Amino acid sequence: MLAAIKQTAAWIQEATNHFTPEVGIILGTGLGDFGEKIEAAHILDYASIPGFPVSTVEGHKGRMIFGTIEGRKVVAMQGRFHYYEGYPMSQVTFPVRVMKLLGIEYLFVSNASGGINTSFRTGDLMIITDHINLMPNPLIGPNLAELGPRFPDMHNCYDKALIAKATAIAEREGIKLQYGVYVGGTGPTFETQAEYRYFKAIGGDTAGMSTVPEVIVARHMGIPCFGVSVITNCGLSDELGDHEDVQRQGKKAAVRMETLFKAMIREL
Ligand code: HPA
CATH (domain of 172): 3.40.50.1580
Q: Tally Cβ neighbours within 10 Å of residue 23.
A: 23
Which of 28, 118, 121, 30 has its CA nearest to residue 81?
28
pTM, rounded to two decimals: 0.96
What CA–CA distance (Å, rounded) separates 210 from 213? 7
| 114 CB within 6 A, ligand 1 | yes
> Hey, which of 85, 116, 191 would you mutate to test ligand 1's pocket, going by the most ligand atoms within 8 Å of its Cβ?
191
Q: Which domain holds residue 173?
A: 2-266
Phi, psi of 174, rounded to the nearest 5 degrees: 70, 35
Instruction: Indicate which atom in ligand 1 lies nearest the CA of residue 209.
Output: 3
> Hey, which of 82, 109, 113, 210 would you mutate to test ligand 1's pocket, going by the most ligand atoms within 8 Å of its Cβ?
113
> How does DSSP assign 200-224, residue by residue?
HHTT-SEEESSSHHHHHHHHHTT--
Cβ 162 vs Cβ 239: under 8 Å: no
First to last CA, the chain: 32
How confident is the model over 183-212, as pLDDT tens digits? 999 999 999 999 999 999 999 999 999 999
How confident is the model over 36-78, as pLDDT tens digits? 999 999 999 999 999 998 876 655 679 999 999 999 999 999 9
| 193 CB within 6 A, ligand 1 | no
How many domains is the chain partitioned into structurally? Answer: 1
Which of 173, 157, 156, 130 has its CA nearest to residue 264?
173
